[in-house]
Amino acid sequence: MKLQTQSGKWQVASGMKMRRTQLGISCHPSPATRHAAFTLIELVLVLALLVVITSLAAPAMATFIRGRALDSEARRLFALTHAAQSRAVSEGVPMLLWVDEKNGAYGLTAEMSTKTTTDQTGNGDPKAENLTVDSTLQISVLNLGLNAPTTFNNLPAIHFLPDGTVDEESPQTVQLTDSAGVARWLVESPNHTGYEVSDIKP
């Protein structure tokens, strides 16, 4: 049984299959179309491969990120020593770069006399800086002065004199360590003119 519209473009054949005869378009997908999609097994294999690649790359990425944090903190500490020297020379006032090992912090302040009016921080230096070490790192002071180590509020401190040199009783080494045990050292130069960053233990 066949039915035909007035335009003659559409036909209904037995079995209720509709085809557009003039354009040759069928409602049934071709074999090539059926095989173009991924199967479930193929998707599972791709996901498993991604998991393996991620597990191999993750440790390397974690090490890279820790290394970046360690180097960045070392550069920041080194820059603070330069700022301390510059201020000591330009202002003619000794500077103290203190280290708080327990709270993971360090900072810079001028060595003020007791007659100096204090600011809101209580240390009398409006240009004082207080910095916090990255949460993945630890800071510690090594090789303190033998006679009377320089301190600020009972914390070990590097003492920069107005001529830009480092007081002999200042700590010789400051160590930064990450969670993997990798370290960087801020080491005093032999002629007491400053500090330098080293990745070799002094």
Does 9 map to a domain? no
pLDDT at 179: 85
- Structural domains counted in the chain: 1
In a domain, 170, yes or no: yes
Positions in the chain short of pLDDT 50:
1-3, 8-23, 25, 113-121
What pLDDT, on a 0 to 100 scale, did the predictor assign at position 191?
87
pLDDT (0 to 100) of residue 17: 45
Structural contact between residues 158 and 108, judged by C-beta atoms closer than 8 angstroms: no
Strand pairing partners for 130? 107
The pLDDT assigned to 138 comes to: 94
Residue 17 lies in a domain: no
pLDDT digits (tens, 9 = 90+) for 24-56: 545 555 555 555 677 888 888 888 888 888 777
Three-state DSSP class for 138?
Answer: strand
**Confidence (pLDDT) at 23:** 46
What CATH number is given to the structural domain containing 134? 3.55.40.10
* pLDDT for the residue numbered 30: 54
18 assigned to some structural domain: no
Is 151 part of any domain? yes
Tell me whether residue 69 is in a domain: yes
Look at residue 43 in the predicted model and tell me its pLDDT. Answer: 87
| DSSP codes, 99-167 | EETTTTEEEEEE---TTSPP-TTSSS-TT-EEEE--TTEEEEEES--SSS--EETTEEEEEE-TTSPBP
pLDDT score for 149: 79
pLDDT at 2: 47
Please state, in angstroms and as integers, the Cα–Cα distance from residue 67 to each residue in 24, 81, 176, 183, following that order: 65, 21, 11, 9
